[in-house]
Amino acid sequence: MLVLAGVYLAVARLGLSLATVGGNVSPVWPPTGVALAALVLRGPVLWPGVFLGACLATLSTGVPPTVVLGVATGNTLAMVLGALLTRRLRMDADLSRIRDVVILCVGAGAVCTGVSSLIGPLCLFWGGVLPWAQMSHAVWVWWVGDMMGVLVVAPPLLLLSRPAWPARLGEALALSGLTTVLGVGIFLFRNSQPGLAHAASFLLFPISALAALRFGPRGAGLATLAISSVAIVGTVRGQGPFSSGNVAQDLLVLQLFIVINAVTGQLLAAASEERRRAVERLQLLATTVRGVHEGVFIAEVVGQGRLRTVFANEALSMLLGRPPEEMVDQDPCLLYGDQDPRLSQRVHSALVAGESLCVEVTVPRRDGRIVSTEVLLSPVRATGGDVSHFVATHRDITATKELQARLVAAERVAAVGTLAAGVGHEINNPLAYLVLNLESASRALAENGMMAMRDVQTSVRGALEGAERIRLIVRDLQVFSRQGDQERSLVDLNALVPPAVRIISHALRHRARLVEEFGPVPKVLGSEARLGQVLLNLLVNAMQAVPEGNPSLHEVRVRTSTDVTGRARVDVVDTGVGIAPQVMSRIFEPFFTTKSSGEGTGLGLAICQQIVRTHGGDLEVRSEEGKGSVFTMYLPAAPVQVEVPPRPVSRSKVPMPSTGRRGRVLVVDDEPRLAQSMRLLLEPYHDVVTATRGQDALALVAAGNRFDVILCDLQMPEIDGAALFRRLGVMAPELIERVVFISGGAYTAETRSFIETVQNLVLEKPVRPEVLMASVDAALAALDSREEDEREPVVARAGGARH
Report the CATH architecture of 1-163: Orthogonal Bundle (1.10)
Residue 105 one-letter amino acid: C
Give every CB contact of residue 433 below 8 A, 6+ residues apart in sequence: 462, 463, 466
pLDDT digits over 446-498, tens only?
666 554 666 666 667 666 666 766 666 666 666 555 544 456 778 899 988 88
Indicate if the pLDDT at residue 244 is higher than 80: no
Confidence of residue 309 (pLDDT cuts 50, 70, 90): confident
Q: Is the CB of residue 387 less than 8 Å from the CB of residue 357?
A: no
Mean pLDDT, residues 659-676 = 83
Separation of alpha carbons 458 and 451, rounded Å = 11
Angle of helix 604-614 versus helix 398-418 axis, rounded to 10: 120
Mean pLDDT, residues 261-268 = 87
Residue 598 burial by Cβ neighbours in a 10 Å radius (0-12, 13-18, 19+): exposed
Model pLDDT, residue 800: 44
pLDDT digits over 345-380, tens only?
777 777 777 778 787 787 777 777 778 888 888 888
Q: What secondary structure letter does DSSP report for 98?
A: H
Mean pLDDT, residues 766-791 = 83
Q: What secondary structure letter does DSSP report for 720?
A: -
Nearest to 248 by CA among 144, 121, 355, 385: 144
Model pLDDT, residue 139: 92
What is the number of other CB atoms lying within 10 angstroms of the CB of residue 543?
23
Give every CB contact of residue 253 below 8 A, 6+ residues apart in sequence: 242
Confidence of residue 142 (pLDDT cuts 50, 70, 90): very high
Angstrom CA distances, 737 to 13, 329, 660, 733, stand at 112, 48, 20, 8
Model pLDDT, residue 655: 42
Indicate if the pLDDT at residue 631 is higher than 70: yes
Model pLDDT, residue 319: 79
Confidence of residue 799 (pLDDT cuts 50, 70, 90): very low
Q: Is the CB of residue 104 less than 8 Å from the CB of residue 96?
A: no
**SS3 of 94, please?**
coil
Higher pLDDT, 254 or 474: 254
Confidence of residue 630 (pLDDT cuts 50, 70, 90): very high
Model pLDDT, residue 300: 82
Confidence of residue 646 (pLDDT cuts 50, 70, 90): very low
Give the total residue count for the chain: 803
Nearest to 529 by CA among 360, 412, 398: 412
Indicate if the pLDDT at residue 93 is higher than 90: no
* % of residues, the chain, pLDDT over 90: 21
* % of residues, the chain, pLDDT over 70: 78
Are β-strands 295-303 and 389-396 bridged in parallel, bridged antiparallel, or unpaired? antiparallel
CATH number of 292-396: 3.30.450.20
Separation of alpha carbons 578 and 498, rounded Å = 25
The whole-angstrom distance between residue 459's C-alpha and the CA centroid of its chain comes to: 64
pLDDT digits over 574-599, tens only?
999 888 888 887 787 766 666 654 45
Q: Parse the chain into domains and list their residue ranges.
A: 1-163, 165-269, 292-396, 410-635, 664-792
Model pLDDT, residue 802: 35
Q: Is the CB of residue 493 less than 8 Å from the CB of residue 532?
A: no
Separation of alpha carbons 772 and 764, rounded Å = 10
Model pLDDT, residue 79: 93
- Radius of gyration over alpha carbons of the chain, in Å? 47
Neighbouring C-alpha atoms within 13 Å toward the C-beta of 120:
30
Give every CB contact of residue 231 below 8 A, 6+ residues apart in sequence: 183, 186, 187, 240, 242, 254, 257, 258
Mean confidence (pLDDT) of the chain: 80
**SS3 of 500, please?**
helix
Are β-strands 739-743 and 709-713 bridged in parallel, bridged antiparallel, or unpaired? parallel
| Phi, psi at 460, each rounded to 5° | -65, -40
Nearest to 543 by CA among 505, 516, 580: 505
Most confident residue range from 286-300, 411-425, 476-490, 749-763: 749-763
Confidence of residue 398 (pLDDT cuts 50, 70, 90): confident
Report the CATH architecture of 410-635: 2-Layer Sandwich (3.30)
Give every CB contact of residue 49 below 8 A, 6+ residues apart in sequence: 1, 2, 3, 4, 5, 8, 38
Confidence of residue 796 (pLDDT cuts 50, 70, 90): very low
Q: Is the CB of residue 511 less than 8 Å from the CB of residue 546?
A: yes
Residue 566 burial by Cβ neighbours in a 10 Å radius (0-12, 13-18, 19+): exposed
Higher pLDDT, 570 or 532: 570
Higher pLDDT, 205 or 570: 570
Give every CB contact of residue 295 below 8 A, 6+ residues apart in sequence: 312, 313, 315, 316, 317, 318, 319, 320, 373, 393, 394, 395, 396
Indicate if the pLDDT at residue 222 is higher than 70: yes
Q: Is the CB of residue 145 less than 8 Å from the CB of residue 121?
A: no
Indicate if the pLDDT at residue 303 is higher than 80: no
pLDDT digits over 434-444, tens only?
665 666 666 66
Report the top-level CATH class of 664-792. alpha beta
